[in-house]
Structure 1
Amino acid sequence: MPDRIKRIKEDFSELFDSSPAVIVKGPGRVDLMGSHTDYNEGFVLPVAVNVDVLAGGRLRDDDKVAVYSGNFETVVEFPLDTIEFDNVNTWSNYVRGVVHFIQESGVKLRGANIVLHGNVPIGSGLSSSAAIEMAVGFLFQMLIGFEMSGPELALIGQRAENKFVGVRTGIMDQFISRLGKKDSALFLDCRTLEYEHLPLDTSKVKIVVCDTMKRRGLVGSEYDLRRSQCEEAARLFQQWYPDVKALRDVTPEMYEKHKAQLPAVVSMRAAHVIGENHRVLRSREVLASGDFIEFGKLMNASHDSARDLYEVSCDELEAMVEVTRAAPGALSGRMAGAGFGGCTVSLVKDECVEQFLEVVSVEYERKTRLTPSLYVCTAEDGASVIEKGAEN
C-alpha cells in the first residue's frame, strides 16, 4: 500500500498542484456464503479483504468535481448541479451516482479534486464497484464532515449502482465494504440491515481467492433475469401465503408443498435461494464456533446449488472449483460474487497455502490454458482513513 499512497500523492500534485487533504480506502469483498440471497432480502456472510480502492481528495472553491482514475489514466469533471451519465468513461458513473445520491439525501456538498487507484481486479467478482462507491462516499464524508451512518452510506452506494449505473444489485457489497471489521466476517440480514461481526481466525485457515481470468459484466447479463425469476416465485407464493414479500419469507416446508405448482425454471431458482438462506444461517453457527471443516462443507454445497439450480457457473469456474477442492489443504471451493466468471474462494489450511497455490496455478492452466491470479486474503476493516494531510 505505501507505493500506491505515494502514487496517489504524485498524481495529485501533478494534476492539481496540491496534496490530498485525506486518503481513504474502500475495500473489495468476498462472499463466503450467501449466493444471490441479498436481493431476495435474505442473509449473507461476506468479508472485506485486502484489495481496495484508495481515494485521495481535497475540496475546491467551486461546485465542480474532478476525478482522476490511476487505473484508466483519465480525468473526468462534472458540476454538482448537473450530474449526467458518462457513456465514454463508464468507471466514473460509480462516482457520479454516489455524489448524486448523497446530495439527494439532503447533504450539501462542495466541489473536490479526487485521485483514485484500485487494485481490486475489475470484473472478478470481488466488487470493485462497491469499493469505489464506498471510497468516494467516505472520502466526501471526511472532507465535508457530514454525519452519515455506515448503513446509510451503503444504501446510497446501492442506489447509485441500481438507479444511476443501472445494475440491480443487492445491498451486500456496499454494506461489507463500508462496515467490514478486521479479523471478522459479517453476518447481514439484508431486509432489516441488522448485522453481526463473527470472529474469523485466519491464523490456522487462510482465505484464498482464485481469479479464473474469465471476465463477466452484470449489466446486460443473465443477472437481471435471475432476479426477475425470483420475484416471480415470490409473487406466486403470495397466492398461498399473503405475507410473503420475498423468497426470504418462504420456508423449505412451504416450498416442498407448492414446488410442483411453479414453472420449472422458477422452481429451481427458488429452491436455490431458500436452501442458501438456510445454509447461511447454519454457517453463522458453525463459524461462531470455529468449525472450519463444517463451514467448508456448507461453502461447497452453496456452489453446487448455485451451479445446478441457479445456473450461474461457467466452464472456467467449474475448472477452478475442481482444481481448488482437490488441492493440498483445501477445505472448500466455491464461486465468489454473482458467477458467470470471475473468482472462486477457498478456505485453506495455513500450513498448506504455498503448496495449494502452486498446485492450483499449474493445474488450472493445464485445464484451461489460462494463467490464474491467486490472492491470499485477510479480513480487513471497511471504508476507513489511511492518511490525513494538511486541512482543506
Structure 2
Amino acid sequence: HTDYSEGFVFPMAIDAGIIICGAPNGEKHVNLYSLDFEESDRFSLEEIIPSTERKWTNYIRGVCQEFKKGGFRPQGMDLILEGNVPQGAGLSSSAALEVAAALLITKLHGWTIPRVELVKLAQRAENEFVGVASGIMDQFASMMGQKDHALFLDCRSLDYELIPTPFEQQGYAVVVINSGVQRGLVESEYNARRRECGEAVERLKRDLPKVSSLRDVTMADLPLIEGLPTVLAQRARHVVTENNRVLLGIEALKSGDLARFGQYLNGSHQSLKADFEVSCPELDLLVESAQNVPGVLGSRMTGAGFGGCTVSLVPQEKLASFKQTISRDYLAHTRLQPEIFVFSASQGARLMEATEALQS
C-alpha cells in the first residue's frame, strides 16, 4: 500500500506462477482457454470491451488494449493458460497474468519492448481496463524478480536493487497462509485508500509545499501528520512509517539480522491493521498465532488486505509443528481450513519453449 504513494517496497517473486502458451491464428480475434476454469472465451481486437461473465479474461483484454493505445497492432492469437497462484488471495495472480500475457504477446509479434515498459503497460491494463487503482509493485516483482533475491523498488524512479534473501541459508522458511477469506471489499476500499492518501498530501502541502506524494513526507514530519483529520493521519502515518521500515528492513537483511527483519514484519502488520485498516479478524488471528509460535521471527498480512494471506518467517525445523498448530487453532476459531504454502524467492516472468511449458 505504499507503491501508489511513490514509496519504497520490497516484494519477491515466488515459485508459483501462470503459464500461457500461444500462437498467431491469422484472424482479428483472440481465442482464450483456461485449463483451470475449463472455460473458453473470444474477443475482437477491433473493439476490446470488458467481459462481465468471464472476468479473468479482462486482464488479457486490458493488455491487448494497452498495446493498441501504445501504437502497436496486435494480431489474432490462440492462447491457453493455467496456473497455480492462489486466486483472490493477495498473491498477485492478476499481475502474474498481465505480465505473462504482455511478454508472450510481445514475443509472438516480434516487438522489441524493454521489460520495464511492459511492467508499466501491465499496470495500466489493471488501472484503466480492469478498474483497480493498483500501484506498480506487483507487476514489477512478477516481471523482474530473480531467484534467491527480493526486489527493493523505488516506486517513483523505478530504480531497483536485487537483495539476497538469506532465509534458507539461516534455516528459515517463508510460509504463506491463505486465510480462505474472500476479499470482497478489496477493490472499493483499495481505491478509497488511494484517495485518502491523495487528500492527506493536499492538506500537508499547506506546511510542506514541495510535497507531491506521501513519499516526500519523512519521519521528522510525523508531528504535522498528527494534525490531520484522524483517518487521513492514520493513512499518512502508515505510509511514512512503512517506507522507513522497508529501508531499515533491507539494512537488517544485508547484515544478516533476520531477527530484526522479523520485528519490522510485525510492525508492518500492526500499522496495516491499526492505521491503514486493511486487515480483518481472520488475518489478525493468523498473524497473532504465528507470532506466538516459539522461533517464528515475524508475521504480517500480505497483499491488499480484507482477506487473503499472511507471510511468516518460520524455522525450517519447526515447519511441521507450525502447520499443525496454526491449522488447529485457526479451524477452531473460524471453522475455516487454512491453506499453508512454503515459497522461495524465484525468477520472474520468462519465455519458455512449448515443450518446456508442457513439462512444467
TM-score range, shorter chain: over 0.9
Q: Residues 101-180 of structure 1: matches in 2 within 5 Å?
A: 101-180=66-145
Contact 1:364 1:371 in 2 (8 A): yes
* Of 207, 228, 235, the match for 2:202: 235
Measured in 2, the distance between the counterparts of 1:284 and 1:362 equals: 34
Deviations, residues 221-277 of structure 1 (Å, cap 9, x unaligned): 311111111100111111222211100001122231x23431111011111110000
Measured in 1, the distance between the counterparts of 2:296 and 2:104 equals: 38
Shift of 1:389: 5.0
Report what 2:172 is aligned to: 205
The answer to whether residue 334 in structure 2 is matched with residue 372 in structure 1 is no
The answer to whether residue 16 in structure 2 is matched with residue 51 in structure 1 is yes
Report what 1:363 is aligned to: 329
Measured in 2, the distance between the counterparts of 1:62 and 1:170 equals: 34
Report what 1:8 is aligned to: none
**Residue 300 and residue 221 in structure 1: after superposition, are their counterparts in 2 closer, same or farther (change >3 A)?**
same
TM-score relative to the length of structure 1 = 0.87
The answer to whether residue 195 in structure 2 is matched with residue 225 in structure 1 is no
Percent identity, aligned pairs only? Answer: 45
Report what 2:263 is aligned to: 297
Contact 1:167 1:218 in 2 (8 A): no
* Of 185, 190, 215, the match for 2:182: 215
**Residue 175 and residue 217 in structure 1: after superposition, are their counterparts in 2 closer, same or farther (change >3 A)?**
farther
* Of 315, 320, 342, the match for 1:354: 320
The answer to whether residue 44 in structure 2 is matched with residue 65 in structure 1 is no
**Residue 145 and residue 218 in structure 1: after superposition, are their counterparts in 2 closer, same or farther (change >3 A)?**
farther
List alignment gaps of at least 5 residues for structure 1.
Answer: 1-35
RMSD of equivalent CA atoms: 1.5
Deviations, residues 130-179 of structure 1 (Å, cap 9, x unaligned): 01101111111222221112211111111000000000000000000000
Partner SS state of residue 188, structure 1? strand
Measured in 1, the distance between the counterparts of 2:316 and 2:115 equals: 32
**Residue 187 and residue 220 in structure 1: after superposition, are their counterparts in 2 closer, same or farther (change >3 A)?**
closer
The answer to whether residue 150 in structure 2 is matched with residue 185 in structure 1 is yes
Amino acid of the structure 2 residue aligned with 1:160: A
Amino acid of the structure 1 residue aligned with 2:118: L
Measured in 1, the distance between the counterparts of 2:350 and 2:123 equals: 19
Partner SS state of residue 286, structure 2? helix
Contact 2:186 2:306 in 1 (8 A): no
Measured in 2, the distance between the counterparts of 1:186 and 1:55 equals: 24
Measured in 1, the distance between the counterparts of 2:117 and 2:195 equals: 26
Report what 1:12 is aligned to: none
Measured in 1, the distance between the counterparts of 2:34 and 2:333 equals: 35
Contact 1:328 1:356 in 2 (8 A): no
Structure 1 stretch 220-229 or stretch 304-313: which is displaced more?
A: 220-229
Measured in 2, the distance between the counterparts of 1:389 and 1:146 equals: 23
* Of 54, 68, 72, the match for 1:89: 54
Contact 1:150 1:175 in 2 (8 A): no
Report what 1:383 is aligned to: 349
TM-score relative to the length of structure 2 = 0.95
Shift of 1:328: 4.3
Contact 2:21 2:354 in 1 (8 A): no
Q: Residues 271-290 of structure 1: matches in 2 within 5 Å?
A: 271-290=237-256
Measured in 2, the distance between the counterparts of 1:346 and 1:156 equals: 31
Q: Which is richer in strand?
A: 1
Paired positions, count: 354
Contact 1:70 1:115 in 2 (8 A): yes
Measured in 1, the distance between the counterparts of 2:275 and 2:242 equals: 11
Deviations, residues 14-64 of structure 1 (Å, cap 9, x unaligned): xxxxxxxxxxxxxxxxxxxxxx10011000000100111111111111221
List alignment gaps of at least 5 residues for structure 2.
Answer: none
* Of 232, 236, 254, the match for 2:221: 254
Shift of 1:109: 2.1
